[in-house]
Amino acid sequence: MSCYHWLASYPKSGNTWLRLALASLSKGGQNLDFRSSELFAPIACDRAAMDEVADVDSAALTLAEEEAARPAFFRLEAAWLGKPQLRKVHHAWTRTAAGEPLFPPDVTASAVYVIRDPRDVAISLAHHHGSSIDAAIAFMDDPAAMLAGGSGYGSPQLRQRLLTWSDHARSWLASPIQPLLVRFEDMLDTPADSLERVARHLRWNPSASAIAGAVEATRFDALQAQEERHGFRERTRAEVPFFRRGLAGGWRDSLTPAQRQRIEASHGEAMAMFGYL
């Protein structure tokens, strides 16, 4: 069955913000409670889910074996769950060594791809990882870049190929899944319109009041206040808030001219395609 709605993005591009808005929208625009244990649109690379559904010890697999098993796992999980599922994805759209799509079109209902100016992504990625901005820029330009790239033992997530920032975006947008493209900057400028576009693409039929409620519930200052009171499960560094600034164009006061030029030299072609140059 066509089960999955993939919510895909390069890391630190607005995926979590969109998922929280959809979580509120799914409940009619209710306020969020970060104390809740409910997982809305969990990540597609959850190791425990693969181990349970496919009855494997995925941590013992090589990267090639792990990736080869993913399409079969998604088909098994789709049959097991039997209803539409939203899944967060940071993995690039790739194929296994045998040529099979990692995210099988036959169990895909739809996909959304969230993109953000890579100059802002570099700053947010550096803060999130606790690295320098130069290191974040190099990571975004590395065709071998991965998340959870080490040994499977001790990692709650399966390994995720990112490719470069440009190739990540191109991989999804050129895929047969044909995702809806949503820009982080448009989510900031016209949040209600952007959320409605996504909801319609997911085949939801929300009311105007529910959309307005979800937009209000996920204002950046509201999310910051929730995180300050209750913490946030996706925060990786105790001393750095997950919801840090939420700005478009913050790179202007954070990048040196040399850093900006490095990003534009590496990704200028893709940046122009998406309106960032």
Return the CATH number at 187: 3.40.50.300
Identity of the residue numbered 165: W
For residue 233, pLDDT beyond 60: no
For 33-48, what is each residue's pLDDT tens digit?
Answer: 766 756 688 999 999 9
The b-or-e profile of 55-67 (16+ CB within 10 A means b, else e) is eeebeebeeeebb
pLDDT for position 198: 98
pLDDT for position 127: 87
Q: In what order do the strands lie in the sheet with 4-9?
A: 85-89, 4-9, 108-115, 180-183
123: exposed, middle or buried (C-beta count within 10 Å: 0-12, 13-18, 19+)? buried
Q: Are 216 and 233 in contact (CB under 8 A)?
A: no
Q: Percent of the chain beyond pLDDT 90? A: 72
Residue 147: other Cβ atoms inside 10 A: 16
For residue 235, pLDDT beyond 50: no
Q: Are 91 and 74 in contact (CB under 8 A)?
A: no
- Give the range of the structural domain holding residue 210, as residue numbers without chain letter: 4-273
Let me know the angle formed at the C-alpha of 116 by 247 and 183, rounded to the nearest 5 degrees.
95
Total domain count, the chain? 1
Identity of the residue numbered 173: L
Q: How far is CA 15 from the centre of its chain?
A: 4
For 179-195, what is each residue's pLDDT tens digit?
Answer: 999 999 999 999 999 99
End-to-end C-alpha distance for the chain, whole angstroms: 41
pLDDT for position 93: 98
